[in-house]
Structure 1
Amino acid sequence: MLIDHFPLVGLRLTTPRLELRLPDAEELAALADTAADGVHDPAYMPFRIRWTELPPAERARSVVLHHWSLLGQWTPRSWKLPFTVFRDGVPVGVQLLKAVDLAVTAECSTASWLGHRHQRQGIGAEMRAAVAHLAFTHLGATELVSSAFTDNAGSLGVSAKLGYAPDGIERHEDQGRLRVIHRLRLTRQAWLERVRPEVTVEGVAPCLQLMGLGGTSEADHPHPSI
Protein backbone atom coordinates (compact mmCIF):
# COMPACT_ATOMS: atom_id res chain seq x y z
CA MET A 1 0.00 0.00 0.00
CA LEU A 2 1.12 3.57 -0.65
CA ILE A 3 1.04 4.40 3.05
CA ASP A 4 3.77 1.80 3.64
CA HIS A 5 6.15 3.73 1.37
CA PHE A 6 4.91 7.27 1.98
CA PRO A 7 3.24 7.47 5.41
CA LEU A 8 2.35 11.14 4.95
CA VAL A 9 -0.81 9.99 3.16
CA GLY A 10 -2.02 8.79 6.56
CA LEU A 11 -1.33 12.05 8.40
CA ARG A 12 -4.56 13.81 9.33
CA LEU A 13 -5.34 16.92 11.40
CA THR A 14 -8.90 17.51 12.57
CA THR A 15 -10.34 20.69 14.10
CA PRO A 16 -13.95 21.48 15.02
CA ARG A 17 -14.76 22.44 11.41
CA LEU A 18 -11.86 21.27 9.27
CA GLU A 19 -9.82 18.30 8.18
CA LEU A 20 -6.26 18.74 6.86
CA ARG A 21 -4.62 15.90 4.92
CA LEU A 22 -3.16 15.00 1.56
CA PRO A 23 -5.84 14.59 -1.11
CA ASP A 24 -6.48 11.66 -3.40
CA ALA A 25 -6.56 12.24 -7.16
CA GLU A 26 -10.20 13.28 -7.38
CA GLU A 27 -9.93 15.50 -4.32
CA LEU A 28 -6.89 17.18 -5.87
CA ALA A 29 -8.99 17.85 -8.97
CA ALA A 30 -11.69 19.40 -6.77
CA LEU A 31 -9.04 21.55 -5.06
CA ALA A 32 -7.90 22.73 -8.49
CA ASP A 33 -11.52 23.65 -9.28
CA THR A 34 -11.63 25.71 -6.08
CA ALA A 35 -8.60 27.69 -7.29
CA ALA A 36 -10.16 28.10 -10.73
CA ASP A 37 -13.25 29.62 -9.08
CA GLY A 38 -11.07 32.39 -7.62
CA VAL A 39 -8.75 32.97 -4.69
CA HIS A 40 -8.94 36.73 -4.16
CA ASP A 41 -10.22 40.00 -5.58
CA PRO A 42 -8.50 40.45 -8.98
CA ALA A 43 -7.72 44.05 -8.01
CA TYR A 44 -5.37 42.88 -5.25
CA MET A 45 -2.38 40.50 -5.33
CA PRO A 46 -1.48 38.88 -1.96
CA PHE A 47 1.24 36.59 -3.38
CA ARG A 48 4.80 37.26 -4.50
CA ILE A 49 4.39 34.67 -7.26
CA ARG A 50 1.41 35.75 -9.32
CA TRP A 51 0.00 32.29 -10.01
CA THR A 52 -3.57 33.44 -9.44
CA GLU A 53 -3.36 35.69 -12.51
CA LEU A 54 -3.33 32.63 -14.77
CA PRO A 55 -6.54 31.87 -16.68
CA PRO A 56 -8.82 29.53 -14.67
CA ALA A 57 -7.87 26.31 -16.49
CA GLU A 58 -4.14 27.04 -16.24
CA ARG A 59 -4.54 28.11 -12.62
CA ALA A 60 -6.23 24.81 -11.81
CA ARG A 61 -3.49 22.83 -13.55
CA SER A 62 -0.81 24.78 -11.69
CA VAL A 63 -2.35 23.69 -8.37
CA VAL A 64 -2.13 20.04 -9.40
CA LEU A 65 1.44 20.32 -10.68
CA HIS A 66 2.62 22.32 -7.67
CA HIS A 67 1.16 19.76 -5.28
CA TRP A 68 2.94 16.90 -7.02
CA SER A 69 6.15 18.94 -7.30
CA LEU A 70 6.33 19.61 -3.55
CA LEU A 71 5.91 15.94 -2.72
CA GLY A 72 8.33 14.89 -5.47
CA GLN A 73 11.08 17.14 -4.11
CA TRP A 74 10.65 15.91 -0.53
CA THR A 75 13.70 15.04 1.55
CA PRO A 76 13.91 14.64 5.33
CA ARG A 77 16.27 17.61 5.43
CA SER A 78 14.04 19.98 3.44
CA TRP A 79 10.32 19.47 2.98
CA LYS A 80 7.08 21.27 2.23
CA LEU A 81 3.85 19.58 3.26
CA PRO A 82 0.82 20.87 1.28
CA PHE A 83 -2.19 19.94 3.38
CA THR A 84 -5.47 20.22 1.53
CA VAL A 85 -8.05 21.81 3.82
CA PHE A 86 -11.49 20.20 3.78
CA ARG A 87 -14.70 21.60 5.21
CA ASP A 88 -17.64 19.21 5.18
CA GLY A 89 -15.66 17.03 2.77
CA VAL A 90 -15.11 19.86 0.27
CA PRO A 91 -11.57 21.13 -0.50
CA VAL A 92 -11.48 24.84 0.35
CA GLY A 93 -7.75 25.64 0.16
CA VAL A 94 -4.20 24.67 1.07
CA GLN A 95 -2.24 25.03 4.29
CA LEU A 96 1.48 24.54 3.74
CA LEU A 97 3.88 23.60 6.53
CA LYS A 98 7.58 23.55 5.68
CA ALA A 99 10.94 23.14 7.38
CA VAL A 100 14.66 22.87 6.70
CA ASP A 101 16.85 20.90 9.12
CA LEU A 102 13.97 20.79 11.59
CA ALA A 103 15.81 18.62 14.11
CA VAL A 104 18.43 21.38 14.44
CA THR A 105 16.49 24.60 13.83
CA ALA A 106 13.26 23.64 15.65
CA GLU A 107 11.55 26.09 13.28
CA CYS A 108 8.71 25.63 10.79
CA SER A 109 7.11 28.14 8.46
CA THR A 110 3.70 28.36 6.84
CA ALA A 111 1.94 29.61 3.74
CA SER A 112 -1.62 29.18 2.56
CA TRP A 113 -4.39 30.02 0.16
CA LEU A 114 -8.14 29.78 0.56
CA GLY A 115 -10.85 29.85 -2.08
CA HIS A 116 -12.43 33.30 -2.28
CA ARG A 117 -15.92 32.17 -1.31
CA HIS A 118 -14.59 30.41 1.79
CA GLN A 119 -12.88 33.50 3.24
CA ARG A 120 -14.04 35.74 6.10
CA GLN A 121 -15.38 32.73 8.03
CA GLY A 122 -12.46 32.13 10.40
CA ILE A 123 -11.19 29.20 8.35
CA GLY A 124 -7.76 30.76 7.78
CA ALA A 125 -7.09 31.03 11.51
CA GLU A 126 -8.39 27.52 12.21
CA MET A 127 -6.27 25.84 9.56
CA ARG A 128 -3.10 27.64 10.62
CA ALA A 129 -3.83 26.78 14.25
CA ALA A 130 -3.99 23.13 13.18
CA VAL A 131 -0.48 23.09 11.73
CA ALA A 132 0.82 25.14 14.67
CA HIS A 133 -0.47 22.38 16.93
CA LEU A 134 1.26 19.76 14.79
CA ALA A 135 4.55 21.67 14.77
CA PHE A 136 4.64 22.55 18.47
CA THR A 137 3.11 19.39 19.92
CA HIS A 138 4.40 16.62 17.67
CA LEU A 139 7.39 17.88 15.65
CA GLY A 140 9.48 19.54 18.36
CA ALA A 141 9.27 23.04 16.89
CA THR A 142 9.81 25.96 19.22
CA GLU A 143 9.06 28.72 16.70
CA LEU A 144 6.74 29.15 13.72
CA VAL A 145 7.27 31.89 11.15
CA SER A 146 5.03 33.52 8.57
CA SER A 147 4.97 36.62 6.40
CA ALA A 148 2.53 38.80 4.50
CA PHE A 149 2.43 42.03 2.53
CA THR A 150 1.60 45.06 4.67
CA ASP A 151 -1.80 45.39 2.98
CA ASN A 152 -2.79 41.72 3.40
CA ALA A 153 -5.18 42.34 6.26
CA GLY A 154 -6.55 38.80 6.27
CA SER A 155 -3.21 37.04 6.77
CA LEU A 156 -1.95 39.63 9.24
CA GLY A 157 -5.19 39.31 11.19
CA VAL A 158 -4.74 35.54 11.47
CA SER A 159 -1.19 36.04 12.75
CA ALA A 160 -2.31 38.58 15.33
CA LYS A 161 -5.11 36.31 16.53
CA LEU A 162 -2.72 33.41 17.05
CA GLY A 163 -0.13 35.46 18.94
CA TYR A 164 2.62 36.11 16.37
CA ALA A 165 5.06 38.95 17.07
CA PRO A 166 6.74 41.25 14.51
CA ASP A 167 10.02 39.87 13.15
CA GLY A 168 11.21 42.59 10.76
CA ILE A 169 10.37 43.53 7.19
CA GLU A 170 11.49 42.71 3.66
CA ARG A 171 11.39 45.12 0.73
CA HIS A 172 10.48 43.68 -2.67
CA GLU A 173 10.07 44.96 -6.20
CA ASP A 174 6.71 44.03 -7.72
CA GLN A 175 6.05 45.12 -11.29
CA GLY A 176 8.18 48.21 -10.87
CA ARG A 177 6.89 49.29 -7.48
CA LEU A 178 7.96 48.72 -3.89
CA ARG A 179 6.00 46.33 -1.71
CA VAL A 180 6.87 45.60 1.90
CA ILE A 181 6.46 42.24 3.59
CA HIS A 182 6.02 41.90 7.34
CA ARG A 183 7.78 38.89 8.84
CA LEU A 184 6.09 37.39 11.90
CA ARG A 185 7.18 34.84 14.50
CA LEU A 186 5.18 32.72 16.93
CA THR A 187 6.97 31.09 19.85
CA ARG A 188 5.71 27.94 21.47
CA GLN A 189 5.29 29.81 24.75
CA ALA A 190 3.12 32.50 23.14
CA TRP A 191 1.07 29.79 21.44
CA LEU A 192 0.51 28.00 24.75
CA GLU A 193 -0.81 31.22 26.29
CA ARG A 194 -3.56 31.60 23.65
CA VAL A 195 -7.01 30.07 23.49
CA ARG A 196 -6.73 27.48 20.71
CA PRO A 197 -9.16 25.25 18.86
CA GLU A 198 -9.06 21.56 19.70
CA VAL A 199 -6.88 19.68 17.22
CA THR A 200 -6.67 15.91 16.79
CA VAL A 201 -3.61 14.48 15.03
CA GLU A 202 -3.58 11.01 13.50
CA GLY A 203 -0.77 9.12 11.81
CA VAL A 204 2.17 11.34 12.76
CA ALA A 205 4.52 8.74 14.28
CA PRO A 206 5.31 6.92 10.99
CA CYS A 207 6.06 10.30 9.36
CA LEU A 208 8.76 11.49 11.74
CA GLN A 209 11.70 9.89 9.95
CA LEU A 210 10.55 11.42 6.65
CA MET A 211 10.60 14.79 8.40
CA GLY A 212 14.17 14.32 9.61
CA LEU A 213 13.09 13.40 13.12
CA GLY A 214 13.11 10.31 15.29
CA GLY A 215 15.83 8.13 13.85
CA THR A 216 18.08 7.54 10.87
CA SER A 217 17.63 10.22 8.22
CA GLU A 218 17.50 9.61 4.49
CA ALA A 219 18.32 13.25 3.80
CA ASP A 220 21.20 12.50 1.46
CA HIS A 221 19.59 9.62 -0.40
CA PRO A 222 19.06 10.51 -4.07
CA HIS A 223 15.75 10.07 -5.86
CA PRO A 224 15.67 7.54 -8.72
CA SER A 225 16.73 8.95 -12.08
CA ILE A 226 15.55 7.45 -15.37
Structure 2
Amino acid sequence: MFLRTSVATVVVAVWVSFAGASPHIGVMLEGPEGDIDALSEEQFYVDGSASSARVFTFTNGSRFLHFIPMIHQAEPAFYEAVASEVKQLKAQGMDLFYEFIDFDAATLEDKRRVRAMLGFLPSPTFYAENVSGGLVAQDNAQFLGFPGGKDVNVDLTPAELADAYERLVGPLEISEENLTTPIGEFVMPTADVTQITRVTIDWRNEHLAEAIHDATGDVIVLYGAAHGAGTVKELYALDPSWRRVD
Protein backbone atom coordinates (compact mmCIF):
# COMPACT_ATOMS: atom_id res chain seq x y z
CA MET A 1 0.00 0.00 0.00
CA PHE A 2 2.81 2.38 0.86
CA LEU A 3 5.57 3.87 -1.23
CA ARG A 4 8.44 1.48 -2.06
CA THR A 5 12.02 2.58 -1.43
CA SER A 6 12.79 2.05 -5.11
CA VAL A 7 10.94 5.25 -6.03
CA ALA A 8 13.93 7.46 -6.70
CA THR A 9 12.14 10.78 -6.35
CA VAL A 10 11.24 10.28 -2.71
CA VAL A 11 13.95 10.63 -0.09
CA VAL A 12 14.12 10.70 3.68
CA ALA A 13 13.87 14.26 4.97
CA VAL A 14 14.74 15.20 8.53
CA TRP A 15 13.45 18.45 9.98
CA VAL A 16 15.73 19.66 12.74
CA SER A 17 13.93 20.40 15.97
CA PHE A 18 14.49 23.17 18.45
CA ALA A 19 13.61 24.15 22.01
CA GLY A 20 13.84 20.53 23.15
CA ALA A 21 11.30 19.15 20.69
CA SER A 22 11.87 15.80 18.97
CA PRO A 23 12.91 15.73 15.29
CA HIS A 24 10.07 15.22 12.81
CA ILE A 25 10.98 12.61 10.24
CA GLY A 26 9.13 11.96 7.00
CA VAL A 27 9.76 10.39 3.61
CA MET A 28 8.52 13.17 1.34
CA LEU A 29 10.51 15.97 -0.24
CA GLU A 30 10.08 19.47 1.16
CA GLY A 31 8.36 21.96 -1.12
CA PRO A 32 10.13 24.89 -2.81
CA GLU A 33 11.83 27.34 -0.48
CA GLY A 34 10.23 30.63 0.42
CA ASP A 35 9.11 32.65 3.40
CA ILE A 36 5.38 32.65 4.10
CA ASP A 37 4.76 36.09 2.62
CA ALA A 38 6.51 35.05 -0.60
CA LEU A 39 4.80 31.68 -1.11
CA SER A 40 2.62 31.36 -4.21
CA GLU A 41 -0.04 28.99 -5.44
CA GLU A 42 2.40 27.83 -8.16
CA GLN A 43 4.86 26.61 -5.51
CA PHE A 44 2.18 24.33 -4.04
CA TYR A 45 1.19 22.99 -7.46
CA VAL A 46 1.21 19.20 -7.93
CA ASP A 47 0.46 17.43 -11.20
CA GLY A 48 -0.48 14.05 -9.75
CA SER A 49 2.79 12.32 -10.61
CA ALA A 50 4.67 10.55 -7.82
CA SER A 51 7.57 12.98 -8.22
CA SER A 52 5.31 15.98 -7.55
CA ALA A 53 4.37 14.86 -4.02
CA ARG A 54 5.60 17.49 -1.54
CA VAL A 55 5.20 18.64 2.04
CA PHE A 56 5.55 22.21 3.32
CA THR A 57 6.67 22.39 6.95
CA PHE A 58 5.97 25.34 9.28
CA THR A 59 6.33 26.10 12.98
CA ASN A 60 5.23 28.82 15.38
CA GLY A 61 7.84 27.86 17.95
CA SER A 62 5.63 25.46 19.86
CA ARG A 63 3.76 23.53 17.17
CA PHE A 64 4.45 22.14 13.71
CA LEU A 65 2.26 22.25 10.60
CA HIS A 66 2.88 19.84 7.71
CA PHE A 67 0.84 20.94 4.68
CA ILE A 68 0.66 18.31 1.92
CA PRO A 69 -0.85 19.72 -1.31
CA MET A 70 -3.40 17.35 -2.84
CA ILE A 71 -5.02 16.75 -6.23
CA HIS A 72 -8.27 14.87 -6.86
CA GLN A 73 -6.90 12.63 -9.63
CA ALA A 74 -3.33 11.32 -9.61
CA GLU A 75 -1.04 8.36 -10.17
CA PRO A 76 -1.48 5.63 -7.53
CA ALA A 77 2.13 6.23 -6.43
CA PHE A 78 1.30 9.85 -5.58
CA TYR A 79 -1.33 8.76 -3.07
CA GLU A 80 0.94 5.98 -1.78
CA ALA A 81 3.60 8.61 -1.04
CA VAL A 82 1.05 10.75 0.80
CA ALA A 83 -0.21 7.76 2.81
CA SER A 84 3.35 6.85 3.78
CA GLU A 85 4.05 10.39 4.95
CA VAL A 86 0.80 10.58 6.92
CA LYS A 87 1.49 7.21 8.57
CA GLN A 88 4.90 8.32 9.81
CA LEU A 89 3.73 11.71 11.03
CA LYS A 90 0.60 10.31 12.69
CA ALA A 91 2.83 7.87 14.59
CA GLN A 92 4.26 10.92 16.36
CA GLY A 93 0.80 11.83 17.65
CA MET A 94 -0.15 14.49 15.12
CA ASP A 95 -3.76 15.17 14.17
CA LEU A 96 -4.73 14.89 10.50
CA PHE A 97 -6.92 17.67 9.06
CA TYR A 98 -8.33 16.73 5.68
CA GLU A 99 -10.49 18.17 2.90
CA PHE A 100 -13.87 16.55 2.22
CA ILE A 101 -17.22 18.09 1.30
CA ASP A 102 -19.76 15.31 1.87
CA PHE A 103 -22.22 15.62 -0.99
CA ASP A 104 -23.75 12.21 -0.29
CA ALA A 105 -25.13 13.50 3.00
CA ALA A 106 -26.51 16.72 1.47
CA THR A 107 -30.15 17.37 0.71
CA LEU A 108 -31.24 17.46 -2.92
CA GLU A 109 -31.90 21.18 -2.53
CA ASP A 110 -28.33 21.84 -1.39
CA LYS A 111 -26.92 19.64 -4.16
CA ARG A 112 -28.81 21.73 -6.69
CA ARG A 113 -27.58 24.96 -5.09
CA VAL A 114 -23.96 23.81 -5.36
CA ARG A 115 -24.56 22.65 -8.93
CA ALA A 116 -25.95 26.10 -9.70
CA MET A 117 -22.59 27.46 -8.50
CA LEU A 118 -20.23 25.00 -10.18
CA GLY A 119 -22.20 23.14 -12.83
CA PHE A 120 -21.45 19.78 -11.18
CA LEU A 121 -20.88 18.18 -7.78
CA PRO A 122 -17.13 17.72 -7.22
CA SER A 123 -17.60 14.52 -5.24
CA PRO A 124 -15.29 11.47 -5.05
CA THR A 125 -17.80 9.66 -7.27
CA PHE A 126 -17.54 12.36 -9.94
CA TYR A 127 -13.73 12.21 -9.98
CA ALA A 128 -13.70 8.40 -9.98
CA GLU A 129 -16.05 8.29 -12.96
CA ASN A 130 -13.94 10.76 -14.94
CA VAL A 131 -10.39 9.44 -14.56
CA SER A 132 -8.19 8.48 -17.50
CA GLY A 133 -4.61 7.88 -18.50
CA GLY A 134 -3.67 5.54 -15.66
CA LEU A 135 -4.78 7.97 -12.95
CA VAL A 136 -7.03 7.12 -10.02
CA ALA A 137 -9.35 9.28 -7.94
CA GLN A 138 -8.40 10.44 -4.48
CA ASP A 139 -9.80 8.15 -1.78
CA ASN A 140 -9.45 9.62 1.71
CA ALA A 141 -9.84 6.16 3.25
CA GLN A 142 -6.24 5.54 2.17
CA PHE A 143 -5.00 8.23 4.58
CA LEU A 144 -7.24 7.66 7.59
CA GLY A 145 -7.05 5.35 10.59
CA PHE A 146 -3.31 5.29 11.19
CA PRO A 147 -2.27 5.16 14.88
CA GLY A 148 -1.59 8.54 16.40
CA GLY A 149 -3.70 11.67 16.56
CA LYS A 150 -7.26 12.26 15.42
CA ASP A 151 -8.53 12.34 11.83
CA VAL A 152 -10.62 15.50 11.44
CA ASN A 153 -12.68 16.63 8.44
CA VAL A 154 -12.15 20.40 8.56
CA ASP A 155 -14.08 21.24 5.40
CA LEU A 156 -17.50 22.82 4.90
CA THR A 157 -20.82 21.17 4.24
CA PRO A 158 -22.56 21.73 0.87
CA ALA A 159 -25.13 23.89 2.68
CA GLU A 160 -22.41 26.07 4.23
CA LEU A 161 -20.77 26.48 0.83
CA ALA A 162 -23.98 27.58 -0.87
CA ASP A 163 -24.96 29.78 2.09
CA ALA A 164 -21.60 31.57 1.88
CA TYR A 165 -22.14 32.33 -1.81
CA GLU A 166 -25.66 33.63 -1.20
CA ARG A 167 -24.47 35.90 1.61
CA LEU A 168 -21.84 37.29 -0.72
CA VAL A 169 -23.78 37.59 -3.99
CA GLY A 170 -27.45 36.81 -3.43
CA PRO A 171 -29.85 33.88 -3.94
CA LEU A 172 -28.77 31.18 -6.34
CA GLU A 173 -31.01 30.66 -9.36
CA ILE A 174 -32.05 27.03 -9.79
CA SER A 175 -32.64 26.65 -13.51
CA GLU A 176 -35.12 24.30 -15.16
CA GLU A 177 -32.13 22.34 -16.45
CA ASN A 178 -30.88 21.96 -12.89
CA LEU A 179 -34.30 20.74 -11.74
CA THR A 180 -34.73 18.13 -14.47
CA THR A 181 -31.18 16.81 -15.10
CA PRO A 182 -29.97 13.83 -13.00
CA ILE A 183 -27.98 15.20 -10.11
CA GLY A 184 -24.74 13.49 -11.12
CA GLU A 185 -24.61 15.20 -14.51
CA PHE A 186 -23.29 18.59 -15.59
CA VAL A 187 -25.60 21.59 -16.05
CA MET A 188 -24.87 25.19 -17.01
CA PRO A 189 -24.13 27.11 -13.80
CA THR A 190 -26.22 30.19 -13.06
CA ALA A 191 -23.91 31.73 -10.44
CA ASP A 192 -21.64 34.71 -10.97
CA VAL A 193 -18.46 32.86 -11.98
CA THR A 194 -16.30 35.83 -11.01
CA GLN A 195 -17.28 35.34 -7.37
CA ILE A 196 -16.95 31.55 -7.08
CA THR A 197 -13.31 31.43 -5.91
CA ARG A 198 -14.09 33.90 -3.12
CA VAL A 199 -16.17 31.11 -1.60
CA THR A 200 -14.63 27.86 -2.81
CA ILE A 201 -11.03 29.02 -2.24
CA ASP A 202 -10.74 32.16 -0.11
CA TRP A 203 -13.45 31.44 2.45
CA ARG A 204 -12.39 27.82 2.85
CA ASN A 205 -8.81 29.02 3.36
CA GLU A 206 -9.98 31.23 6.22
CA HIS A 207 -11.99 28.36 7.70
CA LEU A 208 -9.01 25.99 7.52
CA ALA A 209 -6.55 28.55 8.94
CA GLU A 210 -8.81 29.11 11.93
CA ALA A 211 -8.97 25.37 12.57
CA ILE A 212 -5.17 25.11 12.49
CA HIS A 213 -4.86 28.19 14.71
CA ASP A 214 -7.26 26.71 17.27
CA ALA A 215 -5.51 23.32 17.34
CA THR A 216 -3.41 22.52 20.40
CA GLY A 217 -0.84 20.19 18.87
CA ASP A 218 1.05 19.45 15.68
CA VAL A 219 -1.11 19.11 12.57
CA ILE A 220 -0.87 17.42 9.16
CA VAL A 221 -3.09 19.02 6.51
CA LEU A 222 -4.21 17.26 3.32
CA TYR A 223 -5.89 19.91 1.19
CA GLY A 224 -6.07 20.92 -2.46
CA ALA A 225 -2.90 22.54 -3.76
CA ALA A 226 -4.82 25.72 -4.65
CA HIS A 227 -5.42 26.29 -0.92
CA GLY A 228 -1.81 26.05 0.25
CA ALA A 229 -0.36 29.55 -0.02
CA GLY A 230 -3.64 31.27 0.86
CA THR A 231 -4.26 29.17 3.96
CA VAL A 232 -0.75 29.65 5.32
CA LYS A 233 -0.97 33.41 4.80
CA GLU A 234 -4.32 33.47 6.61
CA LEU A 235 -2.69 31.50 9.45
CA TYR A 236 0.21 33.96 9.55
CA ALA A 237 -2.28 36.83 9.86
CA LEU A 238 -3.75 35.10 12.91
CA ASP A 239 -0.33 34.39 14.43
CA PRO A 240 2.76 36.12 12.95
CA SER A 241 5.09 33.73 14.78
CA TRP A 242 4.54 31.05 12.12
CA ARG A 243 7.52 30.51 9.77
CA ARG A 244 8.93 27.94 7.33
CA VAL A 245 11.16 25.20 8.73
CA ASP A 246 14.38 24.88 6.74
Q: Which range, TM-score by smaller chain?
A: 0.3 to 0.5
Give the TM-score of the pair, scaled to structure 2: 0.31
Q: For the pair shown, which has the larger CA radius of gyration, 1 or 2?
A: 2
Q: Which structure has greater strand proportion?
A: 1
Greater relative CO, 1 or 2 (CA 8 Å, sep 6+): 2
Give the TM-score of the pair, scaled to structure 1: 0.33
